[in-house]
Amino acid sequence: MNFTEKRICVTGGLGFLGSHLIDRLKARGCQNVFIADRDKYDLTKEAEIIRMYEEIKPDIVIHLAAVVGGIGANREHPGSFYYLNMVMGAMLIEQARLHNIEKFVALGTICAYPKFTPVPFKETDLWLGYPEETNAPYGLAKKMMMVQLQAYRQEYDFHGIYLLPVNLYGPRDNFDDRSSHVIPALIKKCVEAKEAGRDSIEVWGTGKATREFFYVEDAAEAIALAAERYDGTEPVNLGAGFEISIKDLVELIAKLTGFTGKIVWDSSKPDGQPRRCLDTSRAKEYFGFQAHTNFEEGLKKTIDWYKENREALAKKYAARK
């Protein structure tokens, strides 16, 4: 594939991961990169998806757009998270087939894995059980894209791949209290507590759960490599291949932000999935990707970006209310 000459459409290209992927694609020499974001196309409506394909005429679609959030948002909106993510994926893939798209790259979620998946998570374990309850509707909706792509390859010889990124973090992350994930939420909490002189912060759960975190620029590189080099039916994990407990994560973010107060655990709130850590050997074998960003260095960059952009972010989030 002469990748750099292809017309590439990125859904959700104005979002956190999408903006970094656009940067990465352009840095690799891709000249025809187009964004299908919600400001221009409502990808939950079939007519809008058809319009998008007919206007952009892409050769490759990289589907990042999703309705996402942390544990709280997933608990409050399980129905809409399921429906909106399911219909987006299903209709985008079906219309891609009908419009003879050369390749469809679907981004799934680590939430698709069973609640008690053996660590490290292997792609062959995806069907061992039901996902963790707080985010199962979202995880299953995204997982259905994998089923659809495998079925379409078998029946229609449609070329689609399914990637499973672990929890992302980095500059341009979502720091909105209503929908942020754990790292931006903790950074915001620690920075504000330090500045206000508070002597404690409250954190959900027990701190015992573990997570793996993947720097967003590494994720963008992994997706670009997969889009260019991989064309198979097997799902592929994308991650950094390590795990850290939430307790250790909170303590590290507190240290890096300069917050020295007490951490109070609210054990009445859920921990979510007990452990998350990926086997990332397929990504290295199939398209030569291996993460390289040190976790602490990535956190420092994220904290610095947040501090520099706090005022603009506060105005942006206030305007949404």
Its pTM stands at: 0.94
321 band by pLDDT with thresholds 50, 70 and 90? low
Average pLDDT over the chain reads: 95
Q: Which domain CATH number covers 24?
A: 3.40.50.720
Task: Say if 286 falls within a structural domain.
Answer: yes
208 band by pLDDT with thresholds 50, 70 and 90? very high
Task: Spot the catalytic one: 138, 169, 215, 230.
Answer: 138
pLDDT tens-digit readout, 285-315: 999 999 999 999 999 999 999 999 999 999 9
Q: Which residue has the tokens 């449609």?
A: 158
Phi (first) and psi of residue 68, to 5 degrees: -130, 170
71 band by pLDDT with thresholds 50, 70 and 90? confident
Residue 48 structural domain: 3-315
Buried b (16+ CB within 10 A) or exposed e, 28-49: eebebbbbbbeeebebbeeebb
DSSP-assigned letter for residue 59: S
Task: Say if 24 falls within a structural domain.
Answer: yes
Domain count, the chain: 1
Tokens of 76: 């409050």
Tokens of 266: 């609210």
Task: Say if 87 falls within a structural domain.
Answer: yes
Task: Say if 136 falls within a structural domain.
Answer: yes
Q: Is 285 exposed, middle or buried (0-12, 13-18, 19+ CB in 10 A)?
A: exposed
Task: Say if 172 falls within a structural domain.
Answer: yes
Nearest CA to 228 out of 64, 24, 11 is that of 24
pLDDT tens-digit readout, 157-172: 999 999 999 999 999 9
Task: Say if 320 falls within a structural domain.
Answer: no
Task: Say if 155 falls within a structural domain.
Answer: yes
Q: Give catalytic status of residue 138 as yes or no.
A: yes
Q: Tell me what the mean pLDDT of segment 46-75 comes to.
A: 92
- Please count the residues of the chain: 321
Q: Which residues pair with 211 in a beta bridge?
A: 244
Task: Say if 321 falls within a structural domain.
Answer: no
